[in-house]
């Protein structure tokens, strides 16, 4: 989940095969908004692209937004509840390798997008149906199906973006998509509780039925995504016909044998990625009740603060990305971000200070880490291995998320929040150890991970003059 | 490298300090040990129904704590502290069994008594929470069923449950109504000779100056489908009792998951209100099953203490305390709005600690401190040694100073 939106950009930006300039002649007679080569038409397309991912981001954190309700209505303990997140991650341990392949070779981008959007919708409906029927195992199945679609849909979304915007406003488009994703998560966190309460008033009591209806309403966002996928498919085909352009490709080439050539630095980056994100997403999954129990927040306040990481990430990501791009020194930025997150978790664990401080700090450092960490992969592996490297990174990240989600649930059940926070601190400490090692390994091997932007530009220039 | 070494050493020292502090405990109270012995109906010649007194003598180096668990009428736990290690309980059984309570229980020598208090469980309230508010203070009187007066309960013989080696005893009782046909209200008492922690949640921390009571309500037939319960406590003390219950925040929920508060109702000498002579301490949580899991926890709340004009309806308390002793009462209400009603599990348990002196305070467990120490120490050590190593390595690569041009 974590990497969604942040990493895929790099793959597609790096080695997409697609995205020819589409300046060729079209039917000039049509109005600008219908003309695929005109910017106003691309804005229409962009809005559909943004809504394509909205549903899956909205529904991913449905359990977190309704934590108390899910636990009470389905009579779960916290470990059971966290299974909902684990089941989302399991399919993606494998699918991170397969998603690009399926889009490029099997379905094509248009059909593939529709299929994945359908998986997301069907998964959410099964999830909600499980709640309606009062069957928790069915809800787990729903999350599994949802997971199959969710992550791959993000790949498809980025491929569309490259196809339509490469060489124009691509970074802005990625930024917008990411902000839209965070918006989806935020809206979900803050609205689902209210939806549930309204339905509770209508139905007359809380219970699986109420939960099921609330989740069904959540599924309408997935329907919106599927509609967007259909419209996008139509518009893309129409553009292909008018402009004679190719269907988009992710360009991902996964070769598992590349793994043996991965340098030590890349493995350290993987460790940072896993250890860092497992202390963010499972924490958010369990956050709402934590803020209620420890800090005496009202449920609405707790949902608001639990979405702060996403809210901050939306505007901060582009700004921080710009700063990291300009300054370089990625390893130091990563280490700094990890230390900041560690401080935030320690505040939550060992103080009663208002959690707004800690959560804002976490939101800022989380965005910083995303901006500094994911691009580093492209510095340590050759371009043709990028797809494999990113696929592998996401795969073990999902493996980590699935395992830690389950561990976090049972730690909370048996030893409480302090111990859970200490556990998250320990994970972050491991990420910090890996970052420090990365710094030294890079220093000793004379790598360029921690170069300043200016030095990196000089290096690039000398390489290109050498090759001339 | 000096600038790196100093903070590292400081942090390690700090961590070491924390570890030592948490494992050995710096304040003397926690390490204090007492020699504990337990006896049933001390001095009673021939067994008699309605006697019901367990006496715990906890002898320290120059003082004695007497705990008395009484099952005559309303169940009560008395605590008497003397400054003599040879003080004893003296009972006039004949007078007591004849109903002449007053003065029939003494701790001698009477001049050695420093502090005495009693906690009495007087009533069990049951109310029909139709609107699911769990707020009995704002309910109409018609929502309340007639309360169970615990002074009318018949209590099982203590002889069958007393465990003289563990210093524990369980007292179960019931009245003749149909609600208690298969159910009972029980109190499990434990006395301690040293520092430790309860094995089951809420896992209260105790020391040699405290004893624990677990109260549970098992398999009672509620009188409505939305029944919730509340418990009335009365407390008598030789010192001034605070007019309010202090609710302290507690960072550490490791032993009572998700509970970050601890409530204590303390007695102070009337001339110095900050000193604490005795306390009743609890975590504001009750559990809905006998082997509680995380989701079986349900919060509990207390009302403000109010003064009561007469001694509580407990024989032994009336036997020890004189009329006119200050008595206060408060209610503990279990559960909050939205939590399941009693009939879902037909079980409710709640634990309290009763003791002398300042209440014990939780501190971080050694495991938590070790994890944090290793977690923070390792990256620092890495930076330290890695930095030094890198410096040496770089120096080896590029010898310092000017190199000859040719």
What would the pLDDT profile of B10-57 be if each residue is shown by its tens digit?
555 655 555 555 544 434 445 788 888 888 888 887 777 767 889 999
From chain A, pick out residues whose CB is under 8 angstroms from the CB of B338: 72, 206
**Which of A345, A422, A439 to mutate against chain B (most B CBs within 10 Å)?**
A422
Model pLDDT, residue B200: 85
Q: How far apart are CA A241 and CA A237, in angstroms?
A: 6
Q: Say whether pLDDT at A310 is over 50.
A: yes
Any domain includes B361: no
- Least-confidence region, from A154-168, A233-247, B159-173: A154-168
From chain B, pick out residues whose CB is under 8 angstroms from the CB of A77: 293-295
Q: How far apart are CA B197 and CA B222, in angstroms?
A: 33
Cα angle at B216 between B215 and B220, to 5 degrees?
Answer: 145
The whole-chain average pLDDT of chain A stands at 83
Q: How far is B229 from chain A (nearest CA, A)?
A: 21
CB contact under 8 A, B368 and A422: yes
Q: How far apart are CA B317 and CA B153, in angstroms?
A: 17
CB contact under 8 A, B294 and A440: no
Residues 241-300, chain A, touching B (beta carbon < 8 A):
289, 293-294
Residue of A nearest to B365 (CA): A419
| B347 three-class SS | strand
Q: Say whether pLDDT at A248 is over 70.
A: no
CB contact under 8 A, A425 and B258: no
SS3 content of chain B, % helix, strand, coil (to 5): 25, 35, 40
A77-117 pLDDT per residue, tens: 888 888 999 999 899 888 877 777 777 778 888 888 899 99
From chain B, pick out residues whose CB is under 8 angstroms from the CB of A351: 251
CATH topology for A253-463?
Answer: Growth Hormone; Chain: A; (1.20.1250)
From chain B, pick out residues whose CB is under 8 angstroms from the CB of A72: 338
A440 touches chain B (CB under 8 A): yes
Q: Which two tokens stand for residue A366?
A: 């989380």
Give B11 or A67, the one with higher predicted confidence: A67
Q: Which CATH superfamily is domain A29-252 in?
A: MFS general substrate transporter like domains (1.20.1250.20)
Give A349 or B363, the one with higher predicted confidence: A349
Any domain includes B175: yes
Hey, which of A459-468, B209-218, B308-317 has the most confident mean pLDDT?
Answer: B209-218
Cα angle at B89 between B85 and B92, to 5 degrees?
Answer: 160
CB atoms within 10 A of CB A447: 19
From chain A, pick out residues whose CB is under 8 angstroms from the CB of B398: none
Q: Do domains A29-252 and A253-463 have the same CATH topology?
A: yes
**Which of A275, A294, A418 to mutate against chain B (most B CBs within 10 Å)?**
A418
Q: How far apart are CA B381 and CA B385, in angstroms?
A: 6
Q: How far apart are CA A113 and CA A150, in angstroms?
A: 10
Q: Which two tokens stand for residue B305?
A: 């203490």
Mean pLDDT of A227-246: 85
Q: What is the DSSP letter of B373?
A: H
Q: How far apart are CA B369 and CA B165, in angstroms?
A: 34
Residue of A nearest to B252 (CA): A418
Any domain includes B401: no
Beta carbons within 8 Å of B191's beta carbon, 6+ residues apart? B36, B38, B56, B58, B67, B167, B168, B211
* Of B146, B90, B134, nearest in space to B299 by CA: B134
Q: How far apart are CA A392 and CA A387, in angstroms?
A: 8
Q: How far apart are CA A435 and CA A438, in angstroms?
A: 5
Cα angle at B113 between B110 and B117, to 5 degrees?
Answer: 120
* Of A175, A173, A126, A182, nearest in space to A1 by CA: A182
Cα distances (Å, whole numbers) of residue A463 to A14, A382, A450, A467: 18, 14, 18, 6
CB atoms within 10 A of CB A261: 12
Residues 306-365, chain A, touching B (beta carbon < 8 A):
349-352
Model pLDDT, residue B231: 93
Tokens 């002074």 found at:
B151
Q: How far apart are CA B266 and CA B272, in angstroms?
A: 13
Mean pLDDT of A355-374: 90
Share of chain A above pLDDT 90, in %: 29
From chain A, pick out residues whose CB is under 8 angstroms from the CB of B389: 440
Q: Say whether pLDDT at A143 is over 60.
A: yes
Cα distances (Å, whole numbers) of residue A246 to A20, A160, A173, A294, B44: 8, 12, 20, 55, 101
* Of A53, A151, A124, nearest in space to A402 by CA: A151
* Of A405, A415, A400, A404, nearest in space to A83 by CA: A405
* Of A402, A391, A384, nearest in space to A103 by CA: A391
Which residue from B251, B376, B379 is facing A418, i.e. has the nearest CB? B251
Dihedral of CA atoms A253, A257, A262, A268 in degrees, nearest 10, equals 90
**Which of A66, A279, A358, A415 to mutate against chain B (most B CBs within 10 Å)?**
A415
CB contact under 8 A, B294 and A413: yes
Q: Are A56 and A226 in contact (CB under 8 A)?
A: no
Q: Are A291 and A305 in contact (CB under 8 A)?
A: yes
b (16+ CB within 10 A) / e for A308-324: bbbbbbbebbbebbeeb
Share of chain B above pLDDT 90, in %: 23
Q: How far is B102 from chain A (nearest CA, A)?
A: 47
Same domain, B260 and B388: no
Q: Which helix (H) or strand (E) holds B349?
A: strand B347-356
Q: How far is CA B221 from the centre of its chain?
A: 28
- Least-confidence region, from A28-37, A260-269, B85-94: A28-37
CB atoms within 10 A of CB A137: 9
- Least-confidence region, from A37-46, A269-278, B140-149: A37-46
Q: Say whether pLDDT at B385 is over 50.
A: yes
Model pLDDT, residue A190: 87
- Least-confidence region, from A59-73, A87-101, A362-376, B279-293: A87-101
Q: Say whether pLDDT at A222 is over 80.
A: yes
Q: What is the DSSP letter of B143?
A: G
Mean pLDDT of A55-66: 88
Tokens 């195992």 found at:
A137
Q: How many cross-chain Cβ pairs, A to B, lie less than 8 Å apart? A: 85
Model pLDDT, residue A139: 92
Q: How far apart are CA A432 and CA A428, in angstroms?
A: 6
- Least-confidence region, from A61-65, B49-53, B181-185, B356-360: B49-53
Confidence label for A19 from pLDDT (cuts 50, 70 and 90): very low
Any domain includes B402: no
From chain A, pick out residues whose CB is under 8 angstroms from the CB of B382: 433, 436-437, 440
* Of B366, B375, B338, nearest in space to B228 by CA: B338
Q: What is the DSSP letter of B73?
A: B
Q: How far apart are CA B27 and CA B360, in angstroms?
A: 10
CB contact under 8 A, B293 and A413: yes
Model pLDDT, residue B190: 92
Confidence label for A336 from pLDDT (cuts 50, 70 and 90): very high
Model pLDDT, residue A71: 87
Model pLDDT, residue A12: 42
Any domain includes B403: no
Model pLDDT, residue B258: 87
B291 touches chain A (CB under 8 A): no
For chain A, the structural domain boundaries read 29-252, 253-463
A323-335 pLDDT per residue, tens: 887 888 889 999 9
Q: How far is B387 from chain A (nearest CA, A)?
A: 8
Sign of the alpha-carbon torsion through A426, A432, A436, A437: positive
A301 touches chain B (CB under 8 A): no
Q: Which two tokens stand for residue B155?
A: 């209590």
A413 touches chain B (CB under 8 A): yes
Beta carbons within 8 Å of A409's beta carbon, 6+ residues apart? A77, A78, A79, A80, A81, A82, A83, A286
Q: Say whether pLDDT at A4 is over 80.
A: no
- Beta strands at B113-128 and B76-82: parallel, antiparallel or unpaired: antiparallel
| B400 three-class SS | coil
**DSSP of A4-46, one letter per residue?**
TTTTHHHHHHHH-S------S---TTS-GGG-TTSHHHHHHHH
Tokens 């009335």 found at:
B232
Mean pLDDT of A431-435: 94
- Least-confidence region, from A168-177, A269-278, A376-385, A451-460: A168-177
Residues 368-397, chain B, touching A (beta carbon < 8 A):
368, 371-372, 374-376, 378-379, 382-383, 386, 389-390, 393
Beta carbons within 8 Å of B322's beta carbon, 6+ residues apart? B102
Which residue from B253, B255, B294 is facing A77, i.e. has the nearest CB? B294
* Of B88, B39, B57, nearest in space to B208 by CA: B57
B55-102 pLDDT per residue, tens: 999 988 888 999 999 888 889 999 999 988 888 888 888 888 888 888
Q: Are B126 and B227 in contact (CB under 8 A)?
A: yes
Q: Which helix (H) or strand (E) holds B118?
A: strand B113-128
Q: How far is B120 from chain A (nearest CA, A)?
A: 31
From chain B, pick out residues whose CB is under 8 angstroms from the CB of A353: none
Q: How far is B14 from chain A (nearest CA, A)?
A: 15
Mean pLDDT of A246-251: 67
- Least-confidence region, from A280-284, A457-461, B165-169, B279-283: A457-461
The whole-chain average pLDDT of chain B stands at 84
From chain A, pick out residues whose CB is under 8 angstroms from the CB of B257: 412-417
Model pLDDT, residue A346: 93
Q: Say whether pLDDT at A244 is over 50.
A: yes
Q: How far is A341 from chain B (nearest CA, A)?
A: 13
From chain B, pick out residues whose CB is under 8 angstroms from the CB of A425: 371-372, 375
Which domain CATH number covers B226? Answer: 2.70.98
Model pLDDT, residue A169: 66
Q: What is the DSSP letter of A375?
A: T
Task: List the alpha helices (DSSP H) in A258-354.
Answer: 264-277, 281-295, 299-306, 308-327, 330-350
From chain A, pick out residues whose CB is under 8 angstroms from the CB of B393: 444
Mean pLDDT of B113-124: 91
A138 touches chain B (CB under 8 A): no
From chain A, pick out residues whose CB is under 8 angstroms from the CB of B293: 77, 413
CB contact under 8 A, B251 and A415: no
Q: How far apart are CA B129 and CA B342, in angstroms?
A: 11
Same domain, B79 and B59: yes
Same domain, B372 and B285: no
Any domain includes B232: yes
Q: Is the pTM of this model over 0.90?
A: no
Same domain, B15 and B47: no
A71 touches chain B (CB under 8 A): yes
Same domain, B10 and B102: no
Tokens 């150890």 found at:
A433
Confidence label for A305 from pLDDT (cuts 50, 70 and 90): very high
Confidence label for A173 from pLDDT (cuts 50, 70 and 90): confident
Q: How many domains does chain B have?
A: 2
Which residue from B257, B293, B364 is facing A416, i.e. has the nearest CB? B257
Tokens 């006039």 found at:
B92
Q: How far is B190 from chain A (nearest CA, A)?
A: 24
Q: How far apart are CA A60 and CA A352, in angstroms?
A: 30
Q: How far apart are CA B258 and CA A60, in angstroms?
A: 25
Residues in chain A: 468
Mean pLDDT of B219-243: 88
* Of A280, A462, A273, A461, nearest in space to A375 by CA: A273
CB contact under 8 A, B293 and A425: no
Any domain includes B288: yes
Q: Which two tokens stand for residue A348?
A: 């939550």
**Residue B249 lies in domain:** 27-356
Mean pLDDT of B115-129: 91
Cis upstream peptide for B109 (omega within 30°):
yes
Q: Are A55 and A183 in contact (CB under 8 A)?
A: no
Give B99 or A279, the one with higher predicted confidence: A279
A420 touches chain B (CB under 8 A): no
Confidence label for A21 from pLDDT (cuts 50, 70 and 90): very low
Any domain includes B405: no
Cα distances (Å, whole numbers) of residue B255 to B18, B364, B365: 19, 10, 9
Share of chain A above pLDDT 70, in %: 89
- Beta strands at B261-268 and B88-91: parallel, antiparallel or unpaired: unpaired
Q: How far apart are CA B147 and CA B230, in angstroms?
A: 10
CB contact under 8 A, A437 and B372: no
Mean pLDDT of B267-295: 85
Hey, which of A171-185, B168-182, B312-326 has the most confident mean pLDDT?
Answer: B168-182
B225 touches chain A (CB under 8 A): no
Model pLDDT, residue B28: 43
Tokens 């991170």 found at:
A96
Residue of B nearest to A430 (CA): B375
CB contact under 8 A, A414 and B294: yes
Cα angle at A380 between A375 and A386, to 5 degrees?
Answer: 65
């Amino acid at each position: 989940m974590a990497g969604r939106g942040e990493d895929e950009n790099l793959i597609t930006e790096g080695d997409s095969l697609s995205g020819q300039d589409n300046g060729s002649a079209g039917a000039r007679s049509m109005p600008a908004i219908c003309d695929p080569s005109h910017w106003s038409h691309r804005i229409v397309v962009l809005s559909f692209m943004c809504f394509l991912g909205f549903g899956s981001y909205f529904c991913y954190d449905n359990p977190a937004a309704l934590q108390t309700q899910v636990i009470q209505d389905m009579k779960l303990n916290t470990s059971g509840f966290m299974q909902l997140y684990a089941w989302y991650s399991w399919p993606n341990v494998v699918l991170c390798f397969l998603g690009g392949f399926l889009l490029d070779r099997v379905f094509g981008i248009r059909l593939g997008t529709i299929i994945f959007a359908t998986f997301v919708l069907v998964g959410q409906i099964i999830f909600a149906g499980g709640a309606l029927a009062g069957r928790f195992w069915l809800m787990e199945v729903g999350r599994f199906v949802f997971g199959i679609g969710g992550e791959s849909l993000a790949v498809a979304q980025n491929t569309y973006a490259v196809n339509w915007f490469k060489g124009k406003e691509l970074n802005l488009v990625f930024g917008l998509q990411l902000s839209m994703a965070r918006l989806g998560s935020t809206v979900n966190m803050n609205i689902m509780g209210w939806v549930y309460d309204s339905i509770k008033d209508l139905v007359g009591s809380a219970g699986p039925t109420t939960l099921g209806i609330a989740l069904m309403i959540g599924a309408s966002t997935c329907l919106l995504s599927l509609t967007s996928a259909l419209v996008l498919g139509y518009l893309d085909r129409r553009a292909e016909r008018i402009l004679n352009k190719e269907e988009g490709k992710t360009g991902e080439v996964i070769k598992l044998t590349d793994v043996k050539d991965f340098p030590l630095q890349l493995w350290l980056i993987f460790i940072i990625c896993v250890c860092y994100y497992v202390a963010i997403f499972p924490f958010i999954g369990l956050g709402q009740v934590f803020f209620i129990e420890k800090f005496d927040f009202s449920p609405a306040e707790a949902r608001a603060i639990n979405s702060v990481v996403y809210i901050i990430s939306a505007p901060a990501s582009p700004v921080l990305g710009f700063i990291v791009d300009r300054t370089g020194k990625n390893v130091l930025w990563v280490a700094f971000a990890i230390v900041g997150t560690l401080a935030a978790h320690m505040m939550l664990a060992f103080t009663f200070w208002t959690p707004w401080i800690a959560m804002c700090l976490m939101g800022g450092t989380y965005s910083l880490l995303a901006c500094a960490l994911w691009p580093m992969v492209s510095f340590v592996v050759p371009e043709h291995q990028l797809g494999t490297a990113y696929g592998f990174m996401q795969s073990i990240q999902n493996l980590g998320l699935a395992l830690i989600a389950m561990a976090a649930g049972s730690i909370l059940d048996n030893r409480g929040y302090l111990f859970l926070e200490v556990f998250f601190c320990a994970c972050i400490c491991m990420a910090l150890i890996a970052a420090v090692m990365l710094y030294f390994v890079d220093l000793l091997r004379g790598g360029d991970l921690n170069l300043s932007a200016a030095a990196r530009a000089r290096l690039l220039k000398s390489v290109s003059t050498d090759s001339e | 490298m000096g600038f790196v070494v100093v903070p590292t050493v400081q942090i390690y020292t700090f961590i070491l300090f924390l570890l030592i502090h948490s494992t050995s405990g710096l304040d003397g109270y926690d390490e204090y040990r007492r020699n504990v012995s337990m006896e049933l109906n001390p001095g009673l010649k021939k067994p008699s129904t309605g006697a019901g007194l367990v006496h715990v003598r906890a002898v320290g180096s120059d003082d004695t704590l007497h705990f008395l668990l009484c099952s005559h009428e309303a169940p009560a736990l008395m605590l008497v502290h003397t400054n003599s290690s040879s003080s004893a309980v003296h009972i006039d059984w004949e007078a007591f069994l004849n109903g002449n309570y007053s003065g029939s229980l003494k701790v001698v020598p009477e001049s050695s008594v420093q502090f005495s208090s009693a906690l009495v469980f007087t009533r069990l309230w049951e109310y029909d929470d139709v609107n699911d508010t769990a707020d009995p203070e704002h309910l109409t009187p018609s929502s309340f069923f007639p309360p169970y007066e615990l002074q009318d309960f018949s209590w099982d013989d203590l002889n069958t449950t007393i465990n003289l080696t563990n210093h524990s005893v369980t007292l179960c009782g019931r009245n003749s109504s149909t609600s208690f046909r298969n159910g009972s209200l029980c109190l499990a008492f434990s006395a301690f000779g040293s520092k430790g922690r309860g094995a089951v949640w809420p896992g209260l921390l105790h020391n040699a100056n405290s004893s624990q009571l677990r109260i549970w309500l098992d398999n009672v037939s509620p009188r409505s489908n939305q029944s919730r319960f509340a418990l009335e406590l009365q407390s008598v003390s030789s010192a001034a009792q605070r007019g309010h219950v202090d609710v302290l925040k507690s960072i550490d929920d490791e032993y009572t998951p998700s509970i970050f508060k601890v409530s204590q109702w303390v007695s102070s000498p009337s001339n110095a209100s900050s000193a604490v002579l005795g306390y009743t301490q609890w975590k504001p949580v009750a559990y809905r099953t006998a082997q509680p899991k995380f989701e079986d926890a349900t919060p509990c709340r207390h009302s403000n203490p109010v003064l009561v004009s007469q001694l509580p309806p407990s024989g032994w308390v009336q036997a020890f305390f004189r009329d006119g002793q200050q008595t206060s009462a408060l209610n503990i209400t279990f559960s909050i709005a939205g939590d399941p009603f009693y009939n879902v599990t037909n079980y409710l348990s709640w634990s309290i600690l009763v003791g002398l002196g300042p209440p014990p305070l939780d501190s971080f467990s050694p495991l938590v401190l070790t994890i944090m120490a290793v977690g923070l120490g390792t990256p620092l050590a890495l930076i330290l040694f890695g930095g030094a190593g890198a410096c040496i390595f770089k120096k080896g690569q590029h010898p310092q100073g000017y190199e000859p041009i040719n």
